[in-house]
Chain A
Amino acid sequence: MLAFIGRRLLVAIPTILLISVFVFLLQQLLPGDPILAMAGEERDPATIEFLREKYGLNDPLPVQYFKWIGGVIQGDLGISLRTNQPVSELLLQKLPVTIQLAVMALIFAVVIGVPAGILSAVKKGTVVDYAANVVALSGLSIPNFWLGIMLILLVSVKWGLLPASGYTPPGEDLVRSITTMLMPAFVLGTALAATLMRHTRSAMLGVLKSDYVRTARAKGLYERRVILRHAFRNALVPIVTLTALLFGELVAGAVLTEQIFTIPGFGKLVVDAVFNRDYAVVQGIVLCTAVGFIVMNLLADAAYFALNPRLRKS
């Protein structure tokens, strides 16, 4: 198992390097000169030249890349052009925020999506199944930024039930932290819940048709046990794998959600950084999320491994 993970990590290295090249090139291709904006409204030519030199933007692209990636390998992601903060520090500041959002959204998605998926698979073809599917499809079809806007309008502005935006670290005030995050987590979680529900349903349907479920029934077990133990345990493998893979969607979804609810996480950071041409920050975030994505993939594989006895012993 450890050897497997080690092997997977080795395989991931070229992928990560490739991503770093993509990100770097893409970033360099962006039109607009961040230095112009940095130089202030007056745009003094000497300052501009100095800043270009300072941030190494006059170097040839390969040199810039190798400087950057060399730093990355040593844990130095460069500094933000906009705030002068080290990118790694910015990332560390934002990471817990996005993770809290992602975890809450995921909890929401799992708590709603998985049981609904099981239920609708077991009740396939009934009103329950139909209703669950309609709700799930609706969840998938609602643009989550719109849902966010509507929720702010209703819940915060009209009813004043929850804070409209912002972020409170859980260490500072746990209750407020959670209440502030409720709406964003809900918004972000809807699509995930829907995806999970649909996948759970189809995984369960597949498993319920399997021979070993028939065997379990032939043993005379109660249907509840057949479904929750024999069927769900096997459907769990694809569900857990999927949940880990949903991480990518989570981050992408967080971009807009954080934008709408003014949550100072990765998504907001990256959008602002793109718009401000804050190169190092964009590169840092995309690289970081890509690595995160790969790590989640790895976790998914590990989960697959752990849940699948066939692989565990070999």
Chain B
Amino acid sequence: MMRETILEAVNLRKHFRSGGGLGRTANTVRAVDGVSLEVHRGETFAIVGESGCGKSTLARLLMRLLDPTEGDVLFDGRSIAGLRGRTLRDLRRDMQFVFQDPFSSLNPRMTVGKLVGEPLETHSPELSARERRAKVAELLGRVGLRPEHAGRYPHEFSGGQRQRIGIARALASGPRLIIGDEPVSALDVSVQAQVINRLHDLKEEFDLTLVIIAHDLAVIRHMSDRVAVMYLGQIVETGPSEQVFANPRHPYTRALLSAVPEPVYGRAHDRMALKGETPSPSAPPDGCRFHTRCPFATEECRKRVPEMREMAPGQGAACHHAEKIAAEHGSPVAVTGSGRSEGAERRFAMYAEAIADRGA
């Protein structure tokens, strides 16, 4: 199913200079180094990678919270680079952000009502105070909070509740696209599930496009339609989630998937061990950036930068040896059953039913 593109990045680069000044050589951190991607209207697009891969910077470039060193971002086909004043405000209305840390992303000195009402104030100034209050109450309801919460302050809420406030705030302006930077990674497992479900429901309800940045592959798989895997400022693999997770083409994606422990007893691991850790983005290796850790690396990888090539419909990987590796090695993710006893399966079913009944 091919849908129209709502957000497009064209060869985005963001280089940070640090430690420069008076006779000291500046250190350039290539946080994002040549990223192109397309997000389709109505889908959930995920960007996954380990710490320091540049995914958060990428998210901020897409939002124009940061200006790119090079490249362009198109929203609805229009470049967002030069927007200012009214047009920038319009972009902000259409594109919203949910932050990773629900503790630090809400102004501690504003009530929830004010926080959620603020985008309305900015983007729908025609609303009266009462109308705005009503809208805020409605939004709070949508994210699973109660209208009377509007008078409280963020610190009175738990992490999960705060993340819902953040989501309500993002929804308030009536955006068409929401970018979530690790929206659930700071939450406890049980709460994380609540928020994931909520996001999914809201997406349907408001006909949103979601861009989710995360490091947790299981969460990504669960939430996203398409995924892009980042390593050292570049996208190494992209494609429909099911496809990428079942049949990864880039050795880094393989390694990531194989490293994730599944909560199933006795799962045999065909683990693809990676040596060492991610190199510094201020001095990325030549050639393929992954070659220093890649068990399949050859002389060619050290010298030549691999291009993104289409491996399967909609799936691309930037690896010289992708086909060969796929042919020689099976899927890193063993597909097996749940490993639960019969009684357990019944208990899980009962539980799911009970929870569904509760209407959580």
Binding site for B on A (CB under 8 A): 3, 7, 10-11
B1: interface (CB < 8 Å): no
CB distance from A225 to the nearest CB of B (A): 33
A10 to B22, CA, bound (A): 9
Chain B 8-26 interface residues, beta-carbon cutoff 8 Å to A: 21-24
**Residues of A with C-beta under 8 A to B21:** 7
Q: 5 more A-B contacts (CB under 8 A) besides A7-B21, A10-B22, A11-B22?
A: A3-B23, A3-B24, A7-B22, A7-B23, A7-B24
**Residues of B with C-beta under 8 A to A10:** 22
Q: Which residue of B is nearest A3, CB measured? A: B23
Shortest 4 CB-CB distances between A and B: which pairs?
A: A7-B22, A10-B22, A7-B23, A11-B22
A268 to B22, CA, bound (A): 39
Q: Can you show 8 pairs from A to B with CB atoms below 8 A apart?
A: A3-B23, A3-B24, A7-B21, A7-B22, A7-B23, A7-B24, A10-B22, A11-B22
A11 to B22, CA, bound (A): 9
Q: Which residue of A is nearest B22, CB measured? A: A7
Q: Which residue of B is nearest A10, CB measured? A: B22
Q: Which residue of A is nearest B24, CB measured? A: A7
**Residues of A with C-beta under 8 A to B23:** 3, 7
A7 to B22, CA, bound (A): 7
Chain B 21-45 interface residues, beta-carbon cutoff 8 Å to A: 21-24
* Interface SS of A by simple majority: helix
Binding site for A on B (CB under 8 A): 21-24
CB distance from A194 to the nearest CB of B (A): 32
**Residues of B with C-beta under 8 A to A11:** 22
CB distance from B20 to the nearest CB of A (A): 12
A36 to B161, CA, bound (A): 76
**Residues of A with C-beta under 8 A to B22:** 7, 10-11
**Residues of A with C-beta under 8 A to B24:** 3, 7
A7 to B21, CA, bound (A): 9
CB distance from A44 to the nearest CB of B (A): 55
**Residues of B with C-beta under 8 A to A7:** 21-24
CB distance from A89 to the nearest CB of B (A): 35
CB distance from B19 to the nearest CB of A (A): 9
Q: Which residue of A is nearest B21, CB measured? A: A7
A266 to B124, CA, bound (A): 64
Q: Which residue of B is nearest A8, CB measured? A: B22
CB distance from B249 to the nearest CB of A (A): 39
A65 to B21, CA, bound (A): 31
A11 to B23, CA, bound (A): 12
CB distance from B27 to the nearest CB of A (A): 10
CB distance from A55 to the nearest CB of B (A): 39
A177 to B28, CA, bound (A): 57
CB distance from A10 to the nearest CB of B (A): 6
CB distance from B221 to the nearest CB of A (A): 33
CB distance from B17 to the nearest CB of A (A): 16
CB distance from B22 to the nearest CB of A (A): 5
A57 to B87, CA, bound (A): 61
A11 to B24, CA, bound (A): 13
A3 to B21, CA, bound (A): 12
CB distance from A14 to the nearest CB of B (A): 12
A62 to B23, CA, bound (A): 33
A251 to B109, CA, bound (A): 40
A7 to B24, CA, bound (A): 9
A266 to B21, CA, bound (A): 36
A111 to B356, CA, bound (A): 68
Q: Which residue of B is nearest A11, CB measured? A: B22
A3 to B19, CA, bound (A): 14
CB distance from A93 to the nearest CB of B (A): 37
CB distance from B11 to the nearest CB of A (A): 33
Q: Which residue of A is nearest B19, CB measured? A: A314
A261 to B47, CA, bound (A): 71
Q: Which residue of B is nearest A6, CB measured? A: B23
CB distance from A305 to the nearest CB of B (A): 14
Q: Which residue of A is nearest B23, CB measured? A: A7
A10 to B24, CA, bound (A): 13
A188 to B24, CA, bound (A): 41
CB distance from B259 to the nearest CB of A (A): 25
A181 to B123, CA, bound (A): 69
